Structure 1
């Protein structure tokens, strides 16, 4: 990176939004990594979904090191990101917002690499980091989704790739794009809010995978989501997964919409003919979610412009 590029990068202000709920050890590590970024953040906004007192006490002890938004109740990751992005628009003048969960561990140069790419391609919808698991392999939950889904992005590939969508694990959005597309949808609660939001941004301007910007996603295991394989404690989460997907697939072009519906159908019949544990409950959850998704029309909220509420 040249001296000129470093100077240009430092002129751009970035707010990070971290959403947390009762994972204090991970949250502490996440914040420590963000505070060690080579490119300092303008604001570090932590949205707390009504965690227990130990999380509240820790975040309050940080004082003005962070912006602490404590919510009165748990409104899910989607609601947390909605509140964090709203604060970014209404209370800061930062150029970019960088979204992540509390189990995301950035590297010292992660943000610098994203901003460097933004200097080269300033008209972007979103920039996705290269998300790795603890063993160094790509995190399956956050695998890049290229425009051509038959294309596989190599693990050690060095070239940026245009994406259809990306997850809320160190993803960067431009302020001007957020102002146009609105906020993440609170009613999603969990699952799919990041896919829907990045696809919404991608309809404004292209989104890209930036392999130079690596981060660690400190999940318990490097597995994707599967209602067929998941245990009983996670079955109800799939209501949100399938209901939300039924909403956002309707926003896609006819081919991608048809492909998504076909995939849901195949997953249902695969489960139907399987010997999976709790099969009846899982099938009932899928049917309930699909029915709900046909009538699910959540409202997209828009933030006020900075200081507009004060008449400035």
Structure 2
């Protein structure tokens, strides 16, 4: 059956079971992607569609995808590398246009345990996220339990995360409310996308997921981390990036955009300017001229992104 034919069916079966499309974004990580697809094929609750956005990979990603006749794949190959943000934007649009009831966003460097999707689908909530662990089984879920856009003295809005509050999965409650997410296991119902729109592709990388979570919460949705939805991260969790390099530009800029769009008071919305001044002033001691240039460029770019990009707005 074609993807279009599957998409045309009603959103529920006679048993009133919701449908779900998985959205995967990948770029030059064919071997990791293969492990993820193995994990999706092994789910006790099979996905109704798997939308893979290939950001113009130059490795053997195309061969990996061509071999997967065991999954209901829809492959979208971009004309350029759109980054994670652009890829998830494109993939969520495809899933929404396909008519699926829920969309599950997963990166190419995770593998779901066999019962992961079933655990999520069993929860009657609009926004959910799976809970990540590393290859040793240690809890590495970074979703924020407290994401503070009220306190102007909080340099970083993430004040605490799942893995800083709970030592391991066993000590967690079955459901934990979180305030931001990573697009490594986030699930949303179709009604959420209808109301708040799509991930903002202009972010390219970093904070597109956090910004989307803020929009969802502002629309009255609560976001729940489901303890028994196990997602295994294949790579070490490294959130330390060179702030003087190209990734540093996006980290600064997109953090600033989140504050400018969603800061809950004028002082919080002023924080990006203060951070810029502080980084420039301290550049002789840390970061040097390259980081100073990055943060100045980031602030200038963020000013033009105060409003949500048109293509990320709710579908009309």
Under a length normalisation based on structure 2, what TM-score does the superposition of the two structures give?
0.79
Spell out, residue by residue over 1:90-135, the C-alpha distance to the aligned partner (whole angstroms, 9 max, x if none): 1x222110001100111011111112222xxx3x3x2121111223
**Counting helix residues as a fraction of each chain, which structure ranks higher?**
1
Q: 1:249 to 1:98 in 2, by over 3 A?
A: same
Q: 1:226 to 1:21 in 2, by over 3 A?
A: closer
Is 1:254 matched up with 2:267? no
Give the Cα–Cα distance (whole angstroms) in 1 for the partners of residues 196 and 55 of structure 2. Answer: 24
Summarize the alignment of residues 1-312 of structure 1 with structure 2, pairs less than 5 Å apart. Answer: 11-52=17-58, 54-63=60-69, 65-90=72-97, 92-118=98-124, 122=125, 124=126, 126-139=127-140, 142-147=141-146, 149=159, 152-156=164-168, 157-159=171-173, 160-204=175-219, 205-219=221-235, 221-227=236-242, 235-254=245-264, 258=268, 261=271, 265=275, 268-269=278-279, 272=282, 276=286, 279-296=288-305, 297-301=307-311, 302=313
Structure 1 unaligned blocks of 5 or more? 1-6, 306-312
Give the Cα–Cα distance (whole angstroms) in 1 for the partners of residues 266 and 76 of structure 2. Answer: 37
Q: 1:268 to 1:216 in 2, by over 3 A?
A: farther
Give the Cα–Cα distance (whole angstroms) in 2 for the partners of residues 239 and 174 of structure 1. Answer: 32
Native 8 Å contact 1:77 1:190 kept in 2 = yes
Q: 1:26 to 1:262 in 2, by over 3 A?
A: same
Native 8 Å contact 2:241 2:247 kept in 1 = no
Under a length normalisation based on structure 1, what TM-score does the superposition of the two structures give?
0.80
Kindly state the Cα deviation for residue 137 of structure 1 after the two structures are TM-superposed: 2.2
Q: CA RMSD in A?
A: 3.0
Structure 2 unaligned blocks of 5 or more? 1-12, 148-158
